[in-house]
């Protein structure tokens, strides 16, 4: 069965850490492709972006050239109003009706998952690939997920029947210690080491993060 990876995020800007974890995501789960999904209005995260959604989409379009398995979707950018992950997953189920879908998220997002819109339905409709972040540990998992996670990890060992969800896997690779926030702060000082050259060229051409 074909496996498709979904990687949502603000990507303000997209950087080498995103590339690293997306490639690990694809390698460890043998994914046919990883689709980056820049956020439109991420309701569950209090984010004040420094760029427009169109600029963030354009930066991801520059970044995906590094790996032929990467692509980008503008579905959350063009959708009006708050964009809920459950709705995004439902859309991709329509597009890839016969594929098994995997959603990549960091440990920090997993810990906040019970605050997401219709999170219980989300857990049944998609599979989660969880990347470790720093010192965050599964011991801090909310009580509502403590029973779910062992069952989801065990389910991943069972042969899939159709495009079922409800599985989970802990990625062996972890996020690199690269922060979009730090990149934005350091950009005016000329520290452009953590983004692909094509993204850096776009940022400078559009005069983003100049102050």
From residue 62, alpha-carbon distances to 8, 71, 138 in Å are: 16, 10, 34
pLDDT of residue 41: 64
Task: Give alpha helix (H) positions in 100-141.
Answer: 107-112, 119-125
Rounded CA-CA distance 124/122 in Å is: 5
At residue 169, φ and ψ (nearest 5 deg) are -145, 145
* DSSP per-residue string spanning 39-103: -S--TTS----SS-HHHHHHHHHHHGGG-TTEEE--HHHHS-S---HHHHHHHHHHHTTTSEEEE
pLDDT of residue 136: 61
Q: Are 183 and 194 in contact (CB under 8 A)?
A: yes
Q: Are 138 and 113 in contact (CB under 8 A)?
A: no
Report the percent of the chain where pLDDT is more than 70: 93
CATH 3.40.50.620 fits 3-179, yes or no: yes
Q: For the segment 140-160, what is each residue's pLDDT rounded down to a tens digit?
A: 889 999 999 999 999 887 776
pLDDT of residue 48: 62
- Does residue 182 carry a pLDDT above 90? yes
pLDDT band at 134 (very low <50, low <70, confident <90, very high): low
At 58, list the tokens.
């354009």
pLDDT band at 40 (very low <50, low <70, confident <90, very high): confident
Q: For the segment 72-128, what is each residue's pLDDT rounded down to a tens digit?
A: 999 999 988 888 999 999 999 999 998 999 999 998 899 999 999 999 999 999 999
pLDDT of residue 82: 82
Report the percent of the chain where pLDDT is more than 90: 73
- Does residue 210 carry a pLDDT above 60? yes
Give me the mean pLDDT over the 158-166 stretch: 75
Q: Are 21 and 173 in contact (CB under 8 A)?
A: yes
Question: 131 forms bridges with which residues in the sheet?
Answer: 106
Which of left, alpha, beta for 175 (phi over 0: left; psi -120 to 50: alpha)? beta
User: Which three-class secondary structure state does DSSP give residue 6?
Assistant: strand
Domain ranges of the chain: 3-179
At 47, list the tokens.
């984010």
pLDDT of residue 140: 83
Look at the block and give the residue holding tokens 């440990």: 107
Give me the mean pLDDT over the 44-59 stretch: 80
Give me the mean pLDDT over the 157-166 stretch: 75
């Amino acid at each position: 069965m074909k496996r498709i990876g979904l990687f949502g995020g603000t990507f303000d800007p997209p950087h080498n850490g995103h590339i690293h974890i997306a490639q690990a995501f694809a390698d460890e789960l043998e994914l046919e492709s990883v689709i980056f999904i820049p956020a439109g209005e991420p309701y569950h995260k209090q984010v004040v972006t420094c760029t427009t959604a169109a600029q963030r989409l354009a930066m991801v379009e520059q970044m995906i050239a590094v790996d032929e398995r990467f692509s980008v979707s503008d579905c959350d950018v063009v959708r009006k109003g708050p964009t809920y992950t459950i709705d995004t997953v439902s859309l991709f189920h329509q597009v890839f009706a016969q594929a098994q879908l995997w959603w990549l998220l960091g440990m920090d997002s997993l810990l906040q998952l019970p605050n997401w819109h219709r999170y219980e339905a989300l857990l049944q409709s998609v599979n989660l690939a969880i990347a470790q972040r720093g010192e965050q540990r599964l011991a801090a998992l909310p009580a509502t997920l403590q029973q779910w996670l062992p069952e989801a990890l065990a389910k991943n060992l069972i042969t899939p029947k159709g495009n079922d969800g409800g599985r989970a896997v802990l990625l062996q690779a972890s996020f690199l210690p690269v922060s979009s926030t730090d990149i934005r702060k350091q950009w005016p000082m000329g520290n452009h080491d953590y983004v692909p050259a094509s993204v850096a060229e776009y940022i400078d051409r559009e005069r983003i993060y100049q102050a």
